[in-house]
Amino acid sequence: MDFKKLADEVSQEVLAFSRDTSGWKVTKTSITVSWKPSRNYDGHLYRAEGIIPETPAKLIQFMYLPEHRSKWDRSLHTYRMLHRIDSDTFILHTITNSFAMGSIAPRDFVDLVHIKYYEGEKVIVSSVSVEYPQCPPTSSYIRGYNNPCGYVCSPLPENPGYSKLVMYVQPELRGNLSRAVVEATMPTNLLNLIHDAKDGIKAQKAHSAHSSPKGHSSSLLHKK
C-alpha cells in the first residue's frame, strides 16, 4: 500500500470536512458537538469544536505524539507509534479503555496519521485505519476501523495564543454493538476528549512553570 499517497488523500478529505458548513445537527452545546450522515459508512460523521489555551503548532503535537497524549487522554489504555514513514507521517496503534460505564469493551485501532501545515498557521492532523502486517488483529481486542478523521487547529484571530480545535471522527467500533448505543455515547466521548485536552494543557503548563528556575528557587524558599 502507498501510505504516503493515502495520507495525502485523507488530509484533503479532512480539509473538505472543515469547509463544509451545511447539514450539521447540534447534539451538545457546552462544547459544540454536531453530526451529519457520513459518506464513508452507514453511520454519522461527528464534529466537536472547542477553544484550547495553546498555539496550533504546540497543540497538534500535544494531541498526537504518544509521549504527550498517553499522559492526558483518559480514554486510552495504550497509544504507541509503530512506524515513522517520514517527519509528518506515522502509523500508530491505539487500545482504548472500556467506556459507556463498561457497556462498550475496549477496542484497538491501527491508523495512518499525517500532519499538514497551511497558511495562517492552520494545522491539520488526518488519520484513517489501515492494515499493517506487523500489528495484526488479536483475540484480546475487537479491531475497530476509523474512517477518514482528524483535527483542524487554527489560531484565534483575537488571541493567537489560543487555538480553535475542530475534531472530525467517524469510527466503526464493530463487534455486536447496536448503532443506537454508539450514537448515544459518541457525543459524550468527544466532550470528554476536549475537556481532557484542556486539563492536560493546563497541567503541562503548571509543571513547566514549577520546573522553571524561578519556580524551583521559590520552592526551596518555601521549604526553609
pLDDT at 107: 96
What is the C-alpha separation between 11 and 96, in angstroms, rounded? 24
State how many domains the chain has: 1
Flag whether pLDDT at 105 surpasses 90: yes
Q: Which of 104-108, 178-182, 216-220 has the lowest mean pLDDT?
A: 216-220
Q: How confident is the model at residue 212 (pLDDT cuts 50, 70, 90)?
A: low
Q: Which residues of 73-104 are buried (b: 16+ CB within 10 A; e: fewer)?
A: beebbebeeeeeeeeebbbbbbebeebeeeeb
Within-domain flag for 210:
no
43-91: pLDDT as tens digits: 999 999 999 989 998 998 888 888 899 999 999 999 999 999 999 999 9
Please compute the mean of the pLDDT values over residues 91-112 and round it to a whole number: 92
Q: How confident is the model at residue 224 (pLDDT cuts 50, 70, 90)?
A: very low
What is the C-alpha separation between 7 and 112, in angstroms, rounded? 7
**What is the domain-level CATH number for residue 124?**
3.30.530.20
What is the C-alpha separation between 23 and 17, in angstroms, rounded? 11
Within-domain flag for 218:
no
pLDDT at 30: 63
Within-domain flag for 150:
yes
Within-domain flag for 208:
no
pLDDT at 43: 93
| 3-class SS of residue 118 | coil
Within-domain flag for 178:
yes
Which residue range forms the structural domain that includes residue 30?
3-202
pLDDT at 147: 97
109-165: pLDDT as tens digits: 999 999 999 998 999 999 999 999 999 999 999 999 999 999 999 998 888 889 999
Within-domain flag for 111:
yes
